[in-house]
Amino acid sequence: MPPRGPKGYAFNRTRTTYLATDLLIARTHWSRFRGLMATDSSRFSRGQGLWINPSHGIHTFAMRFPIDAVYLDRERIVIHIEEGLKPWRLAAVRVLAASVLELPTGAVRESLTVLGDQVDIFLEHPLTKAA
């Protein structure tokens, strides 16, 4: 995974399934730019994800493995999906997208996520972490 940062999880409310239970949040310019570049696939496995916010689109330059990408509008409704996006690609830009979830390949299919689904992003509160 990319460097440490805020964490949370992504839940598809429409399908009542989790997209990511270990979600890293990329909010700064650097963390959004870096994303998953140079990350080994073994460090980005089922249940993990990266929420890039804000974002209208992504790239997979300097990545070593394919990913699924879920584009969300301001209300966190799924407006575009890229499944199995290969490394060294420039993904679609969607003007209406407010953020993008990067997930391990197969996460979209396993969660049955489709266009129009409502996704909830929950941030871990620092005081709720186990000591």
Supply the pTM of this predicted model.
Answer: 0.89
Nearest to 81 by CA among 61, 60, 67: 67
What number is the average pLDDT over the span 94-105? 97
> For residue 4, what pLDDT is reported?
60
In the chain, the domains with their CATH numbers are: 7-128 (2.60.120.1140)
Q: What is the pLDDT of residues 43-59, one digit of tens each?
A: 899 999 999 999 999 99
Alpha carbon 32 to its chain's center: 11
CA atoms within 13 A on the CB side of 89: 16
